[in-house]
Chains A and B, each alone.
Chain A
Amino acid sequence: MQSTLSRRDLLSGLVGLALADGCARGRSAPRAGAAELGPLEGELNLYNWSDYIAPEVIPGFEREFGVRVTYDTFESSEEMVAKLQAGARGYDLVVPPTYAVTALVAAGLLAPLSPRYLGNRGNVAPVFRGLAHDPGDRYTVPWQWGMTGIAWRSDLAPPPDSWGVFLEPRYRGKMTMLDDPRDVIGAMLRLRGHSINSVNPAELAAARSDAVAAKANLKAYLSAPVKGQLIAGDVWLAQLWNGDAAQAALRWVLPLEGGTLWIDSLVVPAAAPHPRAAHEFINFILRPEIGAAISGATGYGTPNQAAMPLLERPVPYPSSNELARLEIQEDLGRASALWDEVWTRIKSA
């Protein structure tokens, strides 16, 4: 996957060129940020991952509100952020991960939400409020969430309890880690008791050598497709998200050292052409039955506590014990280059 890496590098580098423009636009009194929005528009443009919604949600919204919805998809959050930073307009609702929210807010590309249109916001579970990426809940409403831990074949291997399992040669060739620098390096940082958002070169150097040592035991760096290999028994242990493990009926554990709590949120770009429709849509998905439908289809956790009782197999909220060990991925800022370098060295080791 060398090509993705170089693409990422280039993206982050080139976006600097376009950034000035994006910033300037963001600061000029955003129409979308006003407390009082205009009348409901006839259209709504969503920008999200593929298959990250229940099929009936959009037609339901269109019928009830008379708004025509367009659903476009992106392939990586880096790409989506780069596009918005370069000044791409037209999208009314975007679904970035936590660290991208920080970057987008810093660039002035998001409109603050107008609370008066979000009557159902009380349904958001307290766990998902006031988090580091949006301390005042000014810009985001959580969409789906999950944790990064270890899924394993309970019939083939005893329960793992530590990220250190990836350093043990006894499962050599039967383990995978996610194909994402934040996850791989993050896990190794936690192993040594550091933050997944560390920008300390010494900590990162230690994480790098651990990751290189672990790489010798790994079959591959693999993300969503690993489910199939786990089911087939080609892989016994995999770094994976709890929702994906549940979809494939696999056991899953959050290692003792802790891991990532990831949250994808709905945000409204400052340049959104249909801000009122965006707010109505956010309020719509905050209804209990709609929230339940979405998580029922994606298999991930719903941040909507009113939707929990409606779900057949809800992903339970992190316990206070787990919560103490979980961290949210934050924007790495200037340290991104350092992380990229560490990742390149792991991959080429």
Chain B
Amino acid sequence: MKRLVWWVAGLVYLLLHLPVLVLVVFSFNASKYSVRWTGFTLDWYRRLAEREDLWRGLRASLIVGASSTLLATVFGTLLALALARRRFAGRRALEGLLYLPIVTPEIVAGISLLVLFVAIGAPLGLGTITIAHVAFNIAFVAVVVRARLAGMDQSLEEAAMTLGADELTAFRTVTVPLLWPGILAGALLAFTMSFDDYVITSLVSGPGSSTLPIVVYSMVRRNVEPTVNAISTLILVVTSLVIWGANRLLRERPLATARG
């Protein structure tokens, strides 16, 4: 039985990661048509350096990713706190609405945001993309932070306040440090969602604001060239490093707060 479990697990991992491995391997393939291995080359990485559209796309993605993550993390965390700790009229309704952006098909969200932006006369560009990303990311951050809040002992805050801390001090020195792993996880998720998003972004983007996924999708449609493999490999490496770093942070954090 145990053997079987190992086999199944191995198969699942293979299924998940084999395509990625193939993608990475073919980014070093000399052939322009990536179906046969014809020899090792770094040409596609060199070509990558010449492709200004990809770098502009990367820049746009990073700007949108960073700003939408920052905003969504602040708002999402506050929302999660309000939903968990406050009693107010319409709280249940608000909680239900929280899941709406997560379950709404992207195309519906994209079109409705586009119509909204057009109606209020907002010029389409990095600004509208950022707002759109904040709109769906708030929900993701709030859900992740709420999960952390659910496992948190509220009596710790109460204890702090009994010991003379005002609400703000208790929030700053007790709540936030304890919530930190949840906030960080929410922020990471938000950044990934933003960095990956294609459908909504493509609809609310304007001249000069094509993000990396938009550039790559359009490239693939026209011409499948291993440059796409090369940029994907680079993104993969960077993302893995970020996740590895975040994991380390998450692991060390509880210790640090315990000491502090």
Which of B36, B118, B209, B218 is in CB contact (< 8 Å) with A75? B218
- Chain B residues near A87: list those with CB within 8 A: 114-115, 118-119
B residues neighboring A (CB under 8 Å)? 33-36, 53, 105, 107-108, 111, 114-115, 118-119, 123-125, 199, 202-203, 205-210, 214-215, 217-219, 221-224
Task: Contact check, A75 vs B33: say whether CB atoms are below 8 A apart.
Answer: no
CA A231 – CA B31 in complex, angstroms? 11
For this complex, into which size category does the number of interface residues on chain A fall? 35 or more
Identity of the chain B residue whose Cβ is nearest the Cβ of A274 in the assembled complex: B207
A14-B111, A73-B210, A91-B207 known; A7 vs B199 contact (CB < 8 Å): yes
Q: How far is the CB of B77 from chain A (nearest CB, A)?
A: 32
Q: Which of A28-36, A44-52, A184-192, A285-293 contacts the other chain?
A: A44-52
A49-B218, A225-B224 known; A74 vs B202 contact (CB < 8 Å): yes
Q: Which of A15-23, A152-160, A306-314 contacts the other chain?
A: A15-23
Q: Does A88 contact B (CB under 8 A)?
A: yes
Q: How far is the CB of A272 from chain B (nearest CB, A)?
A: 11
What's the dominant secondary structure at chain A's contact region?
mixed
Task: Contact check, B53 vs A14: say whether CB atoms are below 8 A apart.
Answer: no
Identity of the chain A residue whose Cβ is nearest the Cβ of B213 in the assembled complex: A75
Q: How far is the CB of A191 from chain B (nearest CB, A)?
A: 27
- Chain A residues near B208: list those with CB within 8 A: 45, 70, 72
Q: Does A90 contact B (CB under 8 A)?
A: yes
CA A88 – CA B204 in complex, angstroms? 8
Q: How far is the CB of A275 from chain B (nearest CB, A)?
A: 14
CA A87 – CA B118 in complex, angstroms? 6
Task: Contact check, A86 vs B115: say whether CB atoms are below 8 A apart.
Answer: yes
Task: Contact check, B111 vs A17: say whether CB atoms are below 8 A apart.
Answer: yes
Q: Chain A, 245-273, contact with B by CB distance < 8 Å: what is the 0/1 string?
A: 00010000000000000000000000000
Show 8 A/B contacts (Cβ-Cβ < 8 Å), sorted by A. A72-B210, A73-B53, A75-B217, A79-B202, A86-B111, A86-B115, A224-B224, A229-B35
Task: Contact check, B222 vs A88: say whether CB atoms are below 8 A apart.
Answer: no
Q: Does A10 contact B (CB under 8 A)?
A: yes
